[in-house]
């Protein structure tokens, strides 16, 4: 790359990084995605590993004792209120680091059974408590983040490409192509989002396995999401096509699709990056709502929305606060994307910042 | 003069509809070009002058089919191109090119110079390998007075005059016979204007180019043209040799145009 471009990129990065919220929330996002990537390794147990006798076990922290990491062993005292107390006969269970535990396939195809930390299968280390089946909430949050966080990135990739292509075509060609495409986006935008999601979900069978539901959700959310990007790109293409460098390309007899990809796309790219970042939360929330309503990811697979669905009753809310943690993570990731998007917008276009 | 002029324009009209209302009905038309005719003989320069909004630029763009002609005909080497399809136009686009007025608008800010000039080669000389293309771009850059190592830089690193040279190199890349120069010097400093005009004249001599030279600067047109057309409100009000137009202007508008040139005296 030429020095000038590198300098440009560098100043973009430094403008981004000088933004206070970027410094806080960009690392948060990195951390969230890194842990999603390493979820099966970081999680002490599999997402479906249940231990009914320890349902609603409260969070317990391991301590360093007698030269090794140990976790207090609790026993159930009251079945109705799910009260636990320390097992006085045998109060400590060992926690082993880098140990073999429940087997998993990393990235879906690398077989592996090492975990950062775990216990023997009969013991449990519930860092963030257990749910109604005695499954480790910490592990399920990690597994759930794979679904909840990836759906945003995949969805945004699809809608951005679709929006850039259709918006570019509408803006560049104008005329009836433009009218047709814009009427379609208006129809999509005029139906309230949640109803449209539910109506589209109804098109597909209710009883799908989680992998298929994952695809269905991406299709639905992308189908709804492209219209906003397309409209803005169309407006930018309309103004760009009057610029002389587009005329020059036309005078050379360039293929219109190449004009769109080579001359229009690079000039709208900074906008697209910012708008994509700011729209990721929509996908995370869309997935969460579908799963929360039972139309998304199904048990025993996990996603943040599905986990939150278990925290609907007052009793759970009052007694087992850790069941609300998925909601906290949803908020955190949505907020992080918004702040990082804001910082990115200010970095890309300092003029906008002054105008605020 | 040899038999057939390179370019013949007959009764060319370019009208733009003014649309309004919900259904976008056309309520009025702007007659940007309203029935003009002229010939451009091979190897000559025809100057087209007129005030802003007189339809000069639209004329140039209509010849290259960048805006659709409403009626009339444009004939290139005896072939009517008025209704040619984009694919039929393609081989002709190699032979007719355009240089734009605003050098800040005519180069894609996101592409390095090699890609900007190389695009022309990619389309019309697809047999060239990348190495040969770089070689050819280097050659073109030295032809217009720039350094070959400039090809990996971006447009924002160049001055207006240098950018105009890049625009000229892009037009030259396809080895055209005819170039529409759409006010190529009006956006430049006076000292740079002279350099660009001289460059255009040198290139004309070297490659036997034919120019349609559009400008509102009368002095530049007088200097470069073999034949001058004066345009006003979409029509040609006067045509003739520069000596005649500048010496004994017949039309009222031409006289006004000449009188409006500021002098130091």
* ipTM given for this complex: 0.90
Give the per-residue pLDDT at A173.
92
Mean pLDDT, rounded, of chain A: 88
Higher per-residue pLDDT: A28 or A91: A28
Average pLDDT over residues A172-201: 88
Give the per-residue pLDDT at A8.
61
**pLDDT 10s digit of each residue in chain B, 265 long?**
456 889 999 999 999 888 877 677 777 888 999 999 999 999 999 999 988 888 999 999 999 999 999 999 999 988 899 888 888 888 899 999 999 998 889 999 989 999 999 999 999 999 999 999 999 999 999 999 999 999 999 999 999 999 999 999 999 999 999 999 999 988 888 888 999 999 999 999 999 999 999 998 888 898 899 999 999 999 999 999 999 988 888 888 888 888 887 766 5
Give the per-residue pLDDT at A305.
92
B164 contact A CB<8A: no
Higher per-residue pLDDT: A192 or B74: B74
* Cβ atoms of B42 and B78 closer than 8 Å: no
Give the per-residue pLDDT at B177.
94
Report the b/e string of A22-44 with b at 16+ CB within 10 A. Answer: beebbebbeebbebbbebbbbbb
Give the per-residue pLDDT at A355.
41
Give the per-residue pLDDT at A5.
54
Nearest CB to B66; choose among A4, A247, A267: A247
Residue A200 CB coordination number (10 Å): 16
Establish whether the linkage from the previous residue to B207 is cis, with ω within 30° of 0: no
* Interatomic CA distance for residues A276 and A227, integer angstroms: 13
* Interatomic CA distance for residues B224 and B99, integer angstroms: 16
Average pLDDT over residues A28-52: 92
- The minimum CA-CA distance between A158 and chain B, rounded to whole Å, is 24
Question: pTM for this one?
Answer: 0.81
Q: Do B170 and A5 touch (CB under 8 A)?
A: no
Give the per-residue pLDDT at A54.
87
* Interatomic CA distance for residues B221 and B242, integer angstroms: 8
* Interatomic CA distance for residues B212 and B222, integer angstroms: 13
A261-297 pLDDT tens trace: 999 998 888 888 888 998 999 999 999 998 998 888 8
pLDDT band with cut points at 50, 70 and 90 for residue A356:
very low
Q: Do B106 and A248 touch (CB under 8 A)?
A: yes
A315 contact B CB<8A: no
């Amino acid at each position: 790359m030429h020095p000038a471009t590198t300098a440009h990129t560098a100043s973009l990065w430094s403008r981004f990084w000088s933004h206070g919220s970027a410094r806080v929330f960009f690392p948060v996002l990195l951390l969230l995605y890194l842990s999603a990537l390493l979820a099966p390794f970081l999680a002490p147990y599999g997402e479906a590993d249940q231990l009914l006798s320890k349902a609603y076990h409260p969070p317990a922290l391991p301590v360093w004792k007698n030269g090794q990491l140990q976790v207090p062993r609790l026993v159930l005292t009251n079945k109705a209120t799910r009260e636990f107390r320390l097992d006085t006969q045998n109060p400590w269970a060992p926690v082993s680091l880098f140990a073999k535990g429940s087997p998993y396939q990393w990235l879906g195809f690398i077989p592996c059974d090492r975990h950062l930390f775990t216990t023997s299968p009969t013991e449990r280390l519930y860092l963030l408590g257990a749910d109604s089946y005695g499954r480790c909430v910490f592990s399920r949050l990690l597994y759930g983040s794979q679904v909840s966080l990836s759906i945003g990135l995949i969805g945004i990739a699809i809608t951005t490409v679709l929006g850039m292509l259709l918006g570019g075509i509408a803006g560049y060609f104008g005329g009836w192509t433009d009218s047709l495409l814009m009427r379609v986006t208006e129809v999509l935008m005029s139906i309230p989002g949640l109803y449209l999601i539910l109506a589209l979900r109804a098109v597909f069978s209710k009883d799908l396995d989680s992998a298929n539901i994952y695809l269905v959700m991406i299709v639905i959310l992308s189908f709804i999401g492209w219209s906003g990007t397309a409209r803005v790109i169309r407006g930018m293409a309309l103004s760009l096509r009057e610029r002389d460098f587009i005329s020059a390309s036309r005078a050379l007899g360039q293929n219109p699709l190449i004009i769109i990809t080579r001359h229009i796309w690079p000039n709208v790219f900074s906008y697209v990056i910012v708008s994509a970042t700011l729209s990721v939360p929509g996908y995370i929330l869309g997935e969460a709502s579908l799963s929360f309503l039972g139309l998304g990811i199904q048990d025993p697979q996990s996603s943040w929305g599905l986990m939150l669905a278990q925290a609907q009753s007052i009793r759970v809310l009052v007694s087992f606060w850790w069941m609300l943690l998925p909601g906290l993570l949803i908020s955190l990731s949505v907020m992080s994307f918004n702040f990082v998007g804001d910082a990115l917008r200010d970095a890309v276009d300092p003029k906008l910042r002054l105008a605020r | 003069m040899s038999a057939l002029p390179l370019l013949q324009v007959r009764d060319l009209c370019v009208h733009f509809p003014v649309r309004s209302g919900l259904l976008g009905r056309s309520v009025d038309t702007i007659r940007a070009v309203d029935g003009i005719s002229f010939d451009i003989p091979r190897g000559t320069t025809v100057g087209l002058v007129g005030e802003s909004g007189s339809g000069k630029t639209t004329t140039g763009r209509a010849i290259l089919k960048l805006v659709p002609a409403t009626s009339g005909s444009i004939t290139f080497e005896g072939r009517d191109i008025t209704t040619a399809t984009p694919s039929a136009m393609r081989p002709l686009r190699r032979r007719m090119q355009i240089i734009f007025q605003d050098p800040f608008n005519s180069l894609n800010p996101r592409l390095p110079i090699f890609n900007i000039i190389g695009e022309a080669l990619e389309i019309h000389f697809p047999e060239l390998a990348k190495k040969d293309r770089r070689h050819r771009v280097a050659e073109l850059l030295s032809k217009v007075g720039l350094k070959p190592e400039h090809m990996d830089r971006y447009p924002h690193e160049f001055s207006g005059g240098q950018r105009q040279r890049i625009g000229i190199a892009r037009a030259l890349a396809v080895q055209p016979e005819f170039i529409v120069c759409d006010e190529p010097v009006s956006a430049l400093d006076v000292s740079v204007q002279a350099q660009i005009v001289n460059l255009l004249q040198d290139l004309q001599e070297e490659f036997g180019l034919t120019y349609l030279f559009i400008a509102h600067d009368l002095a530049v047109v007088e200097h470069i043209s073999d034949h001058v057309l004066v345009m006003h409100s979409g029509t040609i009000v006067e045509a003739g040799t520069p000596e005649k137009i500048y010496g004994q202007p017949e039309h009222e508008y031409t006289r006004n145009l000449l009188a409006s040139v500021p002098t130091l005296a």
